[in-house]
Structure 1
């Protein structure tokens, strides 16, 4: 067994702990925050660790997701209120008791930091110390600046940048947007909005409870988002929106969002930077929990550019994609509502634990979000090694707009439901209209 290395700090006394959950890691208490009833614990570490969870109320059963970890927790003898299991850290987990997915416990264990902490005295560093609550307002980064949020720090504020180069947001602390509930004027603000920037790094932090979209790189290039956690219950609280960007890497993130978890767009809602093309986006090794609205992995609806191309989602876990009820929600979705040519998209090695509305929803359409008069194109979309491991198999829809705007080239290979291969549109419960070259390969 590996020797575990765990790092965690308690926040200031002004932050109230969850009254539903207590967590111990290898016997040591870990602070559990609360957000809209859900609990979350944030730490960093590596090696084999033992997690013990004590709940306020008794429970009969518990599930630890993603299921690929193969965790079979054991209940203690403490009147059905204690759960124990081992995990190899780092890991990002959702622990759900008696089927309650509204108020689960999230345990996010990031890898230890490899970079040296910046010097708080450095004039290019905005340093927020752990164990304190900071009311920062807008933090506007300039060329070469680093925002560092130390573990145990809670920063109430938002982060912006315009035209900056080589900026970074790092640390293991929390950027909290909950004060918007007391400030009507803050409801329109994204939590993190770097615009027209080159060289953006967002690493290690947790972003919670903002009023609208959370991480929104816009018209940027060379963006890296890694080891980040996003938790939001707002009705339009997208997790990560990649807007008119190129050369973007998203890796090892956890997003629980009531709206889109990941959305790739070309639009100028938040910044008048123009609707630039989107190129070369990679999302990998991440966990997504899509609640009642929106989609898990979305391209669209706003596609006001010439091309959105070379997009890859790989080695991810969709632990929930809840039922929306407005006929637009889904797990793998491309909603081309404007003029763009959306092409060369790959979904690979993805595990879907629960998809309650549509599994695949690919459409060229005119929607409430459309602004372009010309409809676009969708072509060369590939699904490879997709496993639906639980729940009912939902319907899928592939639908073009008309004879001049058809979906062209959608390939499925290695698609399975509860271990059984899906080898045809009928087996996959798939409706195909105004489309061509839709194939299932062995």
Structure 2
């Protein structure tokens, strides 16, 4: 059965009534979906439980992986293919992708874990070595008869990489089981059960909870009458829309273990989740695949919690989680692999400062742009931002950064306790991704004028700390600081306790490969237990 939400041309009353009617029919029609050939029993609709872990059989619209088999405590778990790194169409204006453009593959599996479990991963291709990342997860693996075997003691997001390569990895998305009362349908709790469901967009109102069950796939389908809007500036056709929209609402939740895919939406197209002019919103536990534009946009909102969200995207402009002109936003325990900035703060509107943003315990894989930071559109001030206890498995360009293209001032930003695995060797990809640089960087702080900015005046950067950063690869990743002019400078930046495997702390700008260019002031490097600091500029 297909779920079809009504598009924006309908009246609000018709939207709500039709949407709830479809959902009511869906709930009544749902049947338990047991994974064929597995031991154990489904304890509620669509859930397969074996020895205190749970998984779901996805519908045929999610392609199975041919690259890996995964078993947990001897029971096979479904593994699926995700498109990553779609081939880029370089052209005047906005770079894009041809329809059905070739792409690399990554595999992923989704499961809930209630207690420690032994996992076996069997790749279909020959390999010499394997690693379970991030390294600070402390998961040690061994290879037994062609299988990679390890134990995990707690829910976490892990990546299995073969032979030190960033090609064709396996992403294991492991969570704590949701309370069963989250899944009960009521007037305010809307449930999407197992199966494939098409939607032209869902709008949520105050007080509503949307549960996308494990085994459910919500597919974004563009209305036939939507021809898009061609931009002379960018030489591309934009398609506006959102799969899940929360606007002018409060006390809203989106939870579950289901999947949302926008594979059928042309690039550049819809946002996956848009939270706008709202407060007290929670998004937790779902997986977003193949976005056509920004995955999650939190715009002019406050008290927003995003937790255990999983994102895998292949196309350009698919920023992971963008907190835009918002306040009191918490982002925790998310996995983000995408083809643009990972988790960043922006201020697209003027006179609407962003403040008190925390990003903690997240794992990122950045195939393009910045992994973590404050980036590009910065028309209002940004202050009090913390990125803490995060893991960067891979970054093609810049692991961390602050990039000011507009007039806003960025201050009191901390990058702390971050591990950089630096998977994949040199970073050069011999394709369009090399256009932004041939070597990944640790930190890039710049004030500049570019196509993403709108203001005539530039902003400023001050009071930034990059501390307790562990680089686990075999090379020092360079860093760059560059201001704009005497009135728009970068001031008071501290690099403290930056370490490299086998070399320990990097004690000065030279060993850090830190370049402080024009219009920067009061840049310091501290290391280890030393109280003395090198004054770079």
* TM-score relative to the length of structure 1: 0.91
Q: Give the 3-state SS of the residue equivalent to 1:276 in structure 2.
A: coil
Give the structure with higher Rg (CA): 2
Show structure 2 runs of 5+ residues with no match: 1-49, 84-104, 221-242, 424-438, 531-537
Is 1:224 aligned to 2:299, yes or no? no
Q: Is this contact kept in 1: 2:62–2:81, CA < 8 A?
A: no
From 249, 256, 262, the equivalent of 1:164 is 249
Q: CA deviation at 1:394?
A: 2.2
Q: Deviations over 1:357-398 (max 9, x none)?
A: 121111111112111111111100012211112132122111
1:257-406 to 2 correspondences below 5 Å? 257-267=338-348, 276-291=352-367, 293-305=368-380, 307-322=381-396, 329-354=397-422, 356-406=439-489
Q: CA deviation at 1:300?
A: 1.5
Q: CA deviation at 1:278?
A: 0.8
Q: Is this contact kept in 2: 1:4–1:45, CA < 8 A?
A: no
From 168, 171, 179, the equivalent of 1:103 is 168
Between Structure 1 and Structure 2, the one with more strand by share is 1
Q: CA deviation at 1:239?
A: 0.9
Q: Deviations over 1:200-242 (max 9, x none)?
A: 1001111111111101111111100001111111122111111
Q: Give the 3-state SS of the residue equivalent to 1:19 in structure 2.
A: coil
Provide the C-alpha distance between the structure 1 equivalents of 2:372 and 2:63, rounded to a whole number of angstroms. Answer: 33
Is 1:141 aligned to 2:204, yes or no? yes
Q: Deviations over 1:16-74 (max 9, x none)?
A: 42122111111111111111221100111132111111222222221110011333322
Q: CA deviation at 1:275?
A: 6.4
Q: Is this contact kept in 1: 2:204–2:246, CA < 8 A?
A: yes
* TM-score relative to the length of structure 2: 0.75
Q: Is this contact kept in 2: 1:129–1:150, CA < 8 A?
A: yes
Provide the C-alpha distance between the structure 1 equivalents of 2:338 and 2:75, rounded to a whole number of angstroms. Answer: 30
Q: Is this contact kept in 2: 1:267–1:275, CA < 8 A?
A: no
Q: Is this contact kept in 2: 1:244–1:275, CA < 8 A?
A: no
Q: Is this contact kept in 1: 2:268–2:317, CA < 8 A?
A: no
Provide the C-alpha distance between the structure 1 equivalents of 2:336 and 2:306, rounded to a whole number of angstroms. Answer: 12
Is 1:5 aligned to 2:69, yes or no? no
Q: Give the 3-state SS of the residue equivalent to 2:255 in structure 1.
A: strand
Q: CA deviation at 1:13?
A: 4.5
Q: CA deviation at 1:115?
A: 6.7
Q: CA deviation at 1:192?
A: 0.6
1:87-102 to 2 correspondences below 5 Å? 87-102=152-167
Q: How many residues of Structure 1 are paired with residues of Structure 2 in the alignment?
A: 418
Give the RMSD, CA atoms, in angstroms.
1.8
Q: 2:106 aligns to what?
A: 38
